[in-house]
Amino acid sequence: MSTPPAPGAPSWLHCAHGADSVADPVGCRGIQVPGHTACLAHLLDDADRDAYFAGLTPGTDIDHRGTPFTETLLSSLLGTLRDPATGHPRLGDAVFESATFEGAARFDSVTFEGDAGFDSATFKGSAVFDSATFQSDAMFESATFEGNALFESATLEGIAVFRSATFQGDARFESATFEHVAAFESATFKGSAVFESATFERVAVFESVTFEGVALFDSATFEGNAGFESATFEADARFDSVTFEGDAVFRSATFQRDALFESATFEGAWFLSATFEGIAGFRSATFQRDTVFRSATFQRDTVFKSATFEGIAVFDSATFEGIAVFESATFEGDAVFVAVTFEGVAVFESVTIEGDAVFVAVTFEGVAVFDSATFESVAVFDSATFQGGARFDAATFQADALFNSATFERSVSFGPLVCAGRVQLSGAVFSGPVTLSFAARLLECWRTRWSSTAEVRLRYATVDFAHAVFEHPLTIAAEADPFLLPGGRLAEQALASAPDATVRMASLRGVDAAHLVLADVNVSGCLFTGTVHLDQLRLEGTCAFDEVPLGTHWRRWPPVRFTQRRTLAEEHHWRASQPTAVRGWNVAVLGAGRIGPAQLAPVYRALRKASEDGKNEPGAADFYYGEMEMRRHDRTGTTRAERGLLHGYWLLSGYGLRATRALGSLAAAMLVTIVLLMGFGLPQDSPKQTATGTVSPGGGRVTFEIDKADPQYPTGNRFTSERFEKALNVTLNSVVFRSSGQDLTTAGTYIEMTSRLLEPALLALAVLAIRGRIKR
Cα(721)–Cα(121) distance, rounded to whole angstroms? Answer: 141
766 falls within a domain = yes
Residue of 113 and 742 predicted with greater confidence: 113
Residue of 17 and 347 predicted with greater confidence: 347
Q: Where a domain ends, among 344, 369, 394?
A: 369
Q: Do residues 634 and 674 both lie within one domain?
A: no
Residue of 473 and 498 predicted with greater confidence: 473
Q: Do residues 610 and 550 both lie within one domain?
A: yes
Mean of pLDDT values over 402-431: 90
330 falls within a domain = yes
CA-nearest of 9, 6, 31 to 21 is 6
The residue type found at 734 is S
Cα(710)–Cα(744) distance, rounded to whole angstroms? Answer: 9
Cα(765)–Cα(761) distance, rounded to whole angstroms? Answer: 6
Residues 6 or more apart in contact with residue 244 via CB below 8 angstroms: 222, 226, 264, 265, 266, 267, 268, 269
Cα(744)–Cα(687) distance, rounded to whole angstroms? Answer: 10
Position 209 pLDDT exceeds 90: yes
Residues 6 or more apart in contact with residue 273 via CB below 8 angstroms: 251, 252, 294, 295, 296
Position 459 pLDDT exceeds 70: yes
What's the pLDDT score for residue 622? 77
Mean of pLDDT values over 587-607: 75
Q: Do residues 678 and 753 both lie within one domain?
A: yes
CA-nearest of 537, 526, 528 to 504 is 526
Dmax over CA atoms of the chain, in Å, equals: 206
Q: Do residues 664 and 607 both lie within one domain?
A: no
What's the pLDDT score for residue 528? 85
572 falls within a domain = yes
Residues 6 or more apart in contact with residue 41 via CB below 8 angstroms: 15, 28, 30, 67, 68, 69, 70, 73
Q: Which residues of 648-679 are buried (b: 16+ CB within 10 A; e: fewer)?
A: eebebbbbbbbbebbbebbeebbeebbbbbbb
293 falls within a domain = no
Position 269 pLDDT exceeds 50: yes
Cis peptide before 558 (omega within 30 of 0): yes
Cis peptide before 34 (omega within 30 of 0): no
Q: Where a domain ends, among 312, 342, 369?
A: 369
* pLDDT, tens digit, 9 for 90 and up, residues 617-627: 777 777 777 77
The residue type found at 367 is V
pTM over 0.85: no
- Split at pLDDT 50, 70, 90, the class of 706 is low
Highest mean pLDDT out of 152-156, 455-459, 633-637, 689-693 = 152-156
Are 416 and 438 in contact by the 8 Å Cβ rule? The answer is: yes
Mean of pLDDT values over 683-709: 59
DSSP of 671-719: HHHHHHIIIIIS-SSPPPEEEEEE--TT----EEEEEEPPPPPP-S---
* Helix or strand (DSSP H, E) at 262: none
* pLDDT, tens digit, 9 for 90 and up, residues 213-261: 999 999 999 999 999 999 999 999 999 999 999 999 999 999 999 999 9
For the chain, the domain total comes to: 3
Residue of 595 and 321 predicted with greater confidence: 321
Determine the 3-state secondary structure of 366 from DSSP: coil
* pLDDT, tens digit, 9 for 90 and up, residues 368-414: 999 999 999 999 999 999 998 899 999 999 999 999 999 999 888 88
Task: Determine whether 590 is exposed, middle or buried from the number of CB atoms within 10 Å of its CB (0-12, 13-18, 19+).
Answer: exposed
DSSP 8-state secondary structure symbol assigned to residue 522: B
CA-nearest of 563, 557, 511 to 537 is 511
Structural domain containing residue 671: 659-688+712-774
Mean of pLDDT values over 43-57: 87
Q: Do residues 663 and 628 both lie within one domain?
A: no
- Split at pLDDT 50, 70, 90, the class of 765 is low
Highest mean pLDDT out of 227-241, 445-459, 675-689 = 227-241
Whole-angstrom CA distances from 218 to 152, 173, 244, 263, 557 are 14, 11, 12, 10, 90
Residues 6 or more apart in contact with residue 411 via CB below 8 angstroms: 389, 432, 433, 434
As a dihedral over the C-alpha atoms of residue 560, residue 561, residue 564, residue 570, rounded to 10 degrees, the angle is 10
207 falls within a domain = no
What does pLDDT average to over the chain?
Answer: 85
What's the pLDDT score for residue 676? 73
Mean of pLDDT values over 670-677: 74
Beta strands in 597-700 (DSSP E): 689-694
Residue of 17 and 328 predicted with greater confidence: 328
Measured in degrees and rounded to the nearest 5, phi and psi for residue 561 equal -135, 125
- Angle (CA) 390-395-398 rounded to 5° is 125
82 falls within a domain = no
CA-nearest of 186, 178, 220 to 203 is 178
Q: Do residues 604 and 677 both lie within one domain?
A: no
Residue of 73 and 623 predicted with greater confidence: 73
Position 635 pLDDT exceeds 50: yes
Position 753 pLDDT exceeds 70: yes
CA-nearest of 507, 536, 502, 506 to 521 is 502
CB atoms within 10 A of CB 85: 8
Determine the 3-state secondary structure of 570 from DSSP: helix
Q: Do residues 602 and 634 both lie within one domain?
A: yes
- Split at pLDDT 50, 70, 90, the class of 597 is confident
Cα(473)–Cα(181) distance, rounded to whole angstroms? Answer: 69
Residues 6 or more apart in contact with residue 52 via CB below 8 angstroms: 33, 34, 36, 40, 43
314 falls within a domain = yes
CA-nearest of 172, 174, 205 to 189 is 172
DSSP of 176-226: -EE-S-EE-TT-EESS-EE-TT-EE-S-EE-TT-EE-S-EE-TT-EESS-E
Residues 6 or more apart in contact with residue 437 via CB below 8 angstroms: 413, 414, 415, 416, 417, 457, 458, 479, 483
Position 497 pLDDT exceeds 70: yes
- Split at pLDDT 50, 70, 90, the class of 776 is very low
Cα(33)–Cα(45) distance, rounded to whole angstroms? Answer: 13
Mean of pLDDT values over 538-548: 83
549 falls within a domain = yes
CA-nearest of 517, 504, 772 to 623 is 772
Q: Do residues 555 and 590 both lie within one domain?
A: yes
HSE-CB of 151 using CA atoms within 13 angstroms: 27
Q: Do residues 667 and 762 both lie within one domain?
A: yes
Cα(331)–Cα(334) distance, rounded to whole angstroms? Answer: 7
* pLDDT, tens digit, 9 for 90 and up, residues 278-332: 999 999 999 999 999 999 999 999 999 999 999 999 999 999 999 999 999 999 9
Residues 6 or more apart in contact with residue 434 via CB below 8 angstroms: 408, 411, 412, 413, 414, 450, 452, 453, 454, 455
Determine the 3-state secondary structure of 536 from DSSP: helix
Q: Do residues 680 and 577 both lie within one domain?
A: no
Q: Do residues 760 and 674 both lie within one domain?
A: yes
What's the pLDDT score for residue 70? 93
Mean of pLDDT values over 703-716: 59
Cα(20)–Cα(686) distance, rounded to whole angstroms? Answer: 168
Determine the 3-state secondary structure of 105 from DSSP: strand
Q: Where a domain ends, among 352, 369, 386?
A: 369
Cα(634)–Cα(713) distance, rounded to whole angstroms? Answer: 47
Are 407 and 431 in contact by the 8 Å Cβ rule? The answer is: yes
| % of the chain at pLDDT higher than 70 | 83
Cα(44)–Cα(706) distance, rounded to whole angstroms? Answer: 182
Parallel, antiparallel, or unpaired: how do β-strands 280-281 and 302-303 relate?
Answer: parallel
* Helix or strand (DSSP H, E) at 254: strand 254-255
What's the pLDDT score for residue 2? 47
Residue of 606 and 279 predicted with greater confidence: 279
| % of the chain at pLDDT higher than 90 | 52
Total residue length of the chain: 776
Q: Do residues 663 and 618 both lie within one domain?
A: no
